[in-house]
Amino acid sequence: MSAIASFLGRLMLALLFVLAGLGKIIDPGGAQQMLQNAGLQPWLATPTGIFEVVVGLCLAVGVMTRLSAILLFGFTLLATLFFHRDLADPMQQTMALKNIAIAGGLLVVFAYGQMHWSYDRMRLRRRGERDAADANARAHEAELRAAHAEGRAEGRAETVGVPDRDGDGHPG
């Protein structure tokens, strides 16, 4: 059950960023106005939207999960500092607390980056399987070499003559 919860949580966090980024790309006017009001360049709206979509999709799919989570964590904290500074305003305070909660969720994803149903986890599991197969192959090769060496040693022992000294038909 926790695997399903962690997967759904990661998807929900990613969805926030993908949808926000798409909004900035499709209709950058509102984002440009917010950027200008915060003292930032309005042209940053589209690159910011692209960043949110790309990194959000990486988080959703589980590709570079930890890197995606930490990038979005930093982005969320910066957005809070630039756009929700007036904590005397109840709306700004609510938005700042929401962003802090999102940042906390992203830290959990960062801490447990190899979550179930992610590309990173599949890649890690595949690497472990490949390492185990390589170890088995090396062990098999060592057994073959040992058996081959043992066979050569037995062959040499048969060719070395041991004289029958006491005349009973057995060497020795």
pLDDT digits 0-9 by tens, 34-54: 999 999 999 999 999 999 999
102-106, 110-114, 138-142: which range is least confident on average?
Answer: 110-114
**Number of domains present in the structure of the chain:** 1
CA-closest candidate to residue 58, choices 113, 111, 4: 113
Mind listing the pLDDT tens digit for each residue in 114-166?
666 677 777 777 777 787 777 888 888 888 888 888 877 776 655 556 666 77
Evaluate whether residue 18 is within a structural domain.
Answer: yes
* 47: in domain: yes
Q: Is residue 124 part of a domain?
A: no
Q: What percentage of the chain has pLDDT greater than the value 70? A: 88
* Structural domain includes residue 54: yes
- Domain hosting 44: range is 1-117
Residue 74 lies in a domain: yes
CA distance 95 to 67: 25
**Assigned domain for 42 exists:** yes
* Cα dihedral across residues 87, 90, 91, 97: positive or negative: positive
Longest dimension (CA), the chain: 113
| Among 132, 109, 131, residue whose Cα is nearest residue 120 | 109
For the record, the structure tokens of 48 come out as: 């910011």
41 — alpha (psi -120 to 50), left (phi > 0) or beta? beta
**Those residues with Cβ within 8 angstroms of residue 28's Cβ, 6 or more apart along the chain or in another chain:** 45, 46, 49
Residue 166 lies in a domain: no
Asked, for residue 134, whether it belongs to a domain, the answer is no
Q: What's the alpha-carbon Rg for the chain, to the nearest Å?
A: 32
